[in-house]
Amino acid sequence: MSQQERKLHLNAFLAATGHHEASWRHADTHPERAVDINHYLRLARIAERGLLDSVFLADGYWAHAGTLEPFTLLSALAAATKHIGLIATVETTYNQPFHVARKFASLDHISKGRAGWNIVTGAGPAAAQFSREQHPEHHKRYESAEEFVEIVKRLWDSWDDDAVRNDKHSGVLYDESKIHKIDWSSANYAVKGPLNIARPVQGYPVLVQAGSSETGKEFAAKFAEVIFTAQLTIEEARDFYRDVKSRLPKYGRTLAQLQILPGLSPILADTEAEARELEQELFELIDKKGAIQRLSSRLGVDLSNHPLDEPLTLEGIQSADEVSGMKSRHKLIVDLIEREQPTLRQVINTLAGARGHFTFTGTPLQLADTIEQWFQTGAADGFNIMPQIYPSGLETFVDKVIPELQNRGLFRTEYEDTTLRGKLGLARPSSIRHSSQFNEEVVI
């Protein structure tokens, strides 16, 4: 596909009140709607009106998350929408392959081919919620995740595409010869299969990944079809894009088989001055003490007595090797401190906008210029849109930025396919059972 033929891919990262950490305190938001299905229905319909590829729900097991379980919510959204893709985060560390395979197959059937799985290994120490003594180390989580994903794919493939007969005349409901055990046995998992539901509409739901550590990038090059990533500058985004795409050939994959979507968290208004005013309102609502505690925990150094308006240094900050959670986010903050020598207040404000994703404050036209620059210069295949305030931020993006992108020939003017794979330009995968590398029995 030529540069002129490429089209942006856009996902809306759903949230209760927005991606600014103080959004819940702003007068234009409604934190009481965090568990209100009508709020999320409204957001999904706005995104669909804007012809976005998908909406995305993050998930985790941290305390006081206050969010709805994603499969339950996305199933409801599937019934109330027609086109929008539906992506959910599901951890591998605290789940089982059979459950995950069955749930995503169900969501893909319910939505008629619009499901996507954001694969994470679990950044937070959730072990206590699952009767475990400790959270696994970073590299062990990824080792287990590779096996987990491979098992899930084989479970989806345990039914041939034509296994369901529903032949009333012959009395054959299923062709049993086309439903297979997988007999996976290893130190971590023992899964016989087959799955108890037919192969998903898309073959596999779209496989998404959100890790940007060295291990995460290699995992993405091997498995992912979409990456949600975080970079603060266009230069960092270009480096990441070039790095990950260069790893694809070793896994027999082409550049078009992986779409890279950096997070983009905008504050928009008709004038830049109005947008800056809203940005300042949100800055003033930040809980500074809580923000400093979180930053101290992430960096492994006590910043409680550091003056807000004095520059930060790297003195005392833990190394990447000491980080068990989100290594890529730790590196992002360290790089920011090293590159810009910001004050503590500046770091807090930067991270408050979207936890380390690229933030933008300005007019819709200015944002369209920025999106075009990133897209046309090798920094992104599209964006994971993360409005700092919901729902108004998404409405402004859809009503004022999307038309400008369409006028420039950068974004679709109608949905071109019914499935999420089709919207993303991804082929429907053939069954792994038909691969020359497939083994009927796997023992690791």
| Contact by Cβ (8 Å): 336, 342 | yes
The phi and psi torsions of 176 (rounded to 5 degrees) equal -60, -25
Residue 81 counted as an annotated binding residue? no
Residue 185 counted as an annotated binding residue? no
Residue 213 counted as an annotated binding residue? yes
| Contact by Cβ (8 Å): 86, 78 | yes
Q: Quick one: tokens of 99?
A: 């459950």
Distance from chain centroid for Cα 17: 18
Sequence-distant (6+) residues with CB within 8 A of 344 are 292, 295, 303, 306, 307, 308, 309, 310, 312
Residue 212 counted as an annotated binding residue? yes
Residue 59 counted as an annotated binding residue? yes
- Helix, strand or coil for residue 259? strand
Mark 9-46 as b/e (b = at least 16 C-beta within 10 Å): bbbbbbbbbbbbbbbbbbeebeeebbeeeebbbbbbeb
The sign of the torsion formed by the CA atoms of 103, 434, 220, 423 equals negative
| Contact by Cβ (8 Å): 214, 247 | no
Pairing of strands 184-185, 442-443: parallel
Residue 89 counted as an annotated binding residue? yes
Binding annotation: 59, 89, 138, 142, 212-213
Binding residues for FMN: 59, 89, 138, 142, 212-213
